[in-house]
């Protein structure tokens, strides 16, 4: 009798937690069409081999502006972009901490645009970075650093509590991607093949204070220390996109920081001509982000710097790596062609992004 | 077992949101204008566009009133063709931020349910003034004379609140260097 009750109890508990787990999987946003950027962070874990030479960290200025496939094709550099939408510097720091559990890259490239944010900004962006991370003490620390006033840790740890009311927004994507999501990115690179030339960008408003905040600096310090401690070269970059505005005062601070900490800082806005980037053809949104043509040019230019400065090995003669990257190249080429076909047919990217 | 089943069903129903759903819940899908990555001060998604001139600051250009949160199209029509127009989509969010540049000021608009509303106006030279007569390069005392001393201050930023809007002055070395009207949360 006791045994029977015990079995019933165990079954009930398993059923309860199983149901909750299923419900959570179903109700969480899938980010597989339209706003796909929420899938960026999670895709990293699926990569079978993770000993990359270079890890990029940062916001859209990394995941839309550098093509890892080009870095491979031209220099045999293996790289991965651990970027996400409006990734804040503490999120970048914790992502690197987490990445070091899997691998130790030779170079980390951090895009400094997010230095302008000294405190958490928006839950929706937090979600796109944090929900994609695997559960670990590092994720907990990142959540705690990122939460806005009024938010609770438990809402991030059990997203069902946050998304339980999403039941009336469920669509086919939620069911077809219940257990596994289709691959959308290219080692963290978000491809766009459309073109929207840059025109005149808005005037930059005057700011009350141009100094980056102490919290942002403290995480930049920690990022620097973490890299030094692990023998990793840290490179600070500002991607070559013209809007939002990158103030001279911000640039000076990054130059000074790099000099004080023996780091390299490259403002790629100043290297656009050398990289051959033409914002009439190489951006898909009038200068906010590069399209695939721009990302390839930038990777081609920046890859030469990486290879020369840090003596990164050309892995193209490595059969294992070559096999892995060939599959990535095939996927990359297929997606590019698919996007070009869509552009020819509809005039915009129908499947990859909502019409704008 | 029966009790456990009932409990399970009740829990699932509760979590599945059988009750009324607050507007802010559900999948992240905010208005794009809260998401600009440029640090620009733009309104948040929860602002109701209908809350306009009655309880907010109003900028006037050539006699044309530009209240925060007002529908943008008729105002822009009155203002005439801008010197330039820029639109941007915030990373990972739908909707466009639209910026109309006129000679002395820029008008920012946000999109909600397919309609554009005034998000912000930024003054760029002293040929235009606030409705109460403050221009760029005025002194701090001019600002206080026009708007009083009920402002919030952080470093060089002085902010006056009125309803669903703000009037923001950057004052450096006793000189107004920036004036911005802002539709706020």
- Is residue A25 in a domain? no
* Average pLDDT for A175-187: 88
Contact (CB<8Å) A169/B8: no
Question: What would the two tokens of residue A60 be?
Answer: 């859209």
SS3 (DSSP) at A28: coil
- Where in the sequence is the domain holding A242, given as residue range(s)? 39-199+210-346
Interface mutation vs chain A, best among B26, B27, B124, B169, most A CBs within 10 Å = B27
Pairing, β A79-83 against β A54-58: parallel
Question: What would the two tokens of residue A273 be?
Answer: 């001509």
* Average pLDDT for B83-89: 88
Instruction: Please tell me if residue A128 touches chain B, with a CB cutoff of 8 Å.
Output: yes
Q: Residues 273-312, chain A: which have Cβ within 8 Å of B? A: 285-286, 288-289
Prior bond of A203 cis (ω within 30°): no
The band of B16, judged by pLDDT with boundaries at 50, 70 and 90, is very low
pLDDT tens sequence across A67-113 = 999 999 999 999 999 999 999 999 999 999 999 999 999 999 999 99
Dihedral sign for Cα A187, A193, A194, A195, please: positive
Q: Å from B51 to nearest chain A CA?
A: 23
Chain B residues touching residue A127 (CB < 8 angstroms):
28
What's the pLDDT at B8? 52
pLDDT tens sequence across A26-53 = 888 888 777 888 999 999 999 999 999 9
Judge contact between A196 and A286, C-beta under 8 A: yes
**CATH code at position A293:** 3.40.50.1110
Place of tokens 């203002």: B79
The band of B37, judged by pLDDT with boundaries at 50, 70 and 90, is very low
What's the pLDDT at B7? 57
Domain count, chain A: 1
Dihedral sign for Cα B161, B162, B168, B172, please: negative
- Is residue A111 in a domain? yes
Q: Is the per-residue pLDDT at B185 higher than 80?
A: no
What's the pLDDT at B36? 39
What's the pLDDT at B90? 72
CA distance B59 to B51: 16
pLDDT tens sequence across A197-243 = 998 889 999 999 999 999 999 999 999 999 999 999 999 999 999 99
Q: Residues 44-83, chain B: which have Cβ within 8 Å of A? A: none
**ipTM of the complex, rounded to two decimals:** 0.78
Chain A residues touching residue B93 (CB < 8 angstroms):
35, 124
- Mean of all residue pLDDT scores within chain A: 93
What's the pLDDT at B22? 33
What's the pLDDT at B165? 95
Q: What is the pTM of this model?
A: 0.86
Judge contact between A90 and A141, C-beta under 8 A: no
- Is residue A18 in a domain? no
Chain B residues touching residue A201 (CB < 8 angstroms):
86
Q: Which member of B1, B40, B84 has the closest CB to residue A199?
A: B84
Give the CATH architecture of domain B32-183: Sandwich (2.60)
Residue B144: half-sphere exposure toward Cβ, Cα within 13 Å = 10
What's the pLDDT at B144? 97
Nearest CA in chain B to A117: B39
What's the pLDDT at B11? 53
What's the pLDDT at A141? 97
Chain A residues touching residue B88 (CB < 8 angstroms):
243, 285-286, 288
């Amino acid at each position: 009798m006791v045994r029977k009750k015990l079995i019933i109890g165990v079954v009930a508990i398993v059923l309860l937690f199983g149901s909750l787990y299923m419900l959570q999987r179903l109700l969480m946003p899938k980010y597989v069409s339209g706003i796909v950027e929420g899938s960026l962070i999670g895709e990293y874990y699926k990569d079978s081999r993770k000993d990359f030479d270079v890890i990029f960290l940062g916001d859209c200025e990394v995941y839309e502006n550098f093509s890892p496939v080009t870095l491979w094709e031209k220099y045999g550099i293996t790289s991965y972009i651990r970027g996400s939408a409006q990734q804040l510097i503490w999120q970048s720091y914790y992502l690197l901490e987490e990445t070091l559990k899997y691998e130790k890259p030779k170079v980390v490239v951090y895009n400094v645009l997010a230095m302008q944010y000294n405190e958490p900004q928006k839950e929706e962006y937090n979600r796109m970075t944090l929900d994609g991370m695997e559960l670990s003490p590092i994720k907990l620390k990142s959540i705690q650093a990122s939460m806005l006033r009024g938010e609770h840790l438990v809402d991030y740890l059990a997203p069902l509590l946050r998304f339980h009311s999403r039941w009336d927004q469920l669509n086919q994507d939620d069911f077809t991607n219940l257990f596994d999501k289709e691959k959308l990115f290219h080692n963290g690179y978000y491809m766009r093949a459309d073109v929207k030339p840059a025109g005149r960008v808005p005037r930059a408003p005057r700011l009350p204070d141009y100094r980056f905040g102490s919290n942002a600096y403290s995480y930049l310090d920690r990022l620097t220390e973490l890299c030094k401690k692990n023998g990793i070269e840290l490179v600070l970059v500002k991607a070559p996109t013209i809007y939002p505005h990158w103030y001279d005062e911000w640039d000076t601070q990054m130059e000074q920081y790099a000099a004080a900490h023996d780091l390299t800082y490259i403002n790629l806005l100043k290297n656009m001509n050398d990289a051959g980037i033409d914002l009439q053809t190489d951006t898909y949104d009038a200068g906010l982000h590069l399209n695939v043509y721009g990302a390839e040019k930038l990777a081609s230019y920046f890859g030469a710097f990486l290879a020369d400065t840090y003596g990164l090995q050309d892995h193209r003669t490595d059969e294992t790596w070559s096999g892995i990257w060939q599959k990535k190249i095939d996927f990359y080429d297929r997606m590019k062609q698919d996007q070009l076909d869509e552009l020819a047919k509809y005039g915009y990217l129908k499947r990859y992004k909502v019409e704008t | 077992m029966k009790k456990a089943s009932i409990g399970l069903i009740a829990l699932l129903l509760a979590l599945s949101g059988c009750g009324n759903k607050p507007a802010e819940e559900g999948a992240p899908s905010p208005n794009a204008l809260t998401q600009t990555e440029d640090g620009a001060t733009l309104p948040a998604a929860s602002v109701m566009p209908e809350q306009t001139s009655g309880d907010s600051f109003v900028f006037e250009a050539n006699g044309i009133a530009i209240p925060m949160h007002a529908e943008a199209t008729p105002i822009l029509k009155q203002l005439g063709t801008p010197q330039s127009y820029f639109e941007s989509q915030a990373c990972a969010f739908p909707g466009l931020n639209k910026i109309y540049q006129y000679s002395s000021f820029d008008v920012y608009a946000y999109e909600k349910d397919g309609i554009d509303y005034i998000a912000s106006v930024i003054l760029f030279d002293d040929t235009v003034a606030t409705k109460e007569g403050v221009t760029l390069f005025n002194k701090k005392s001019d600002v206080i004379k026009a708007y009083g001393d009920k402002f919030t201050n952080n470093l060089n930023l002085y902010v006056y609140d009125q309803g669903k809007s703000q009037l923001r002055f950057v004052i450096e070395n006793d000189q107004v260097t920036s004036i911005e009207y802002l539709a706020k949360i």
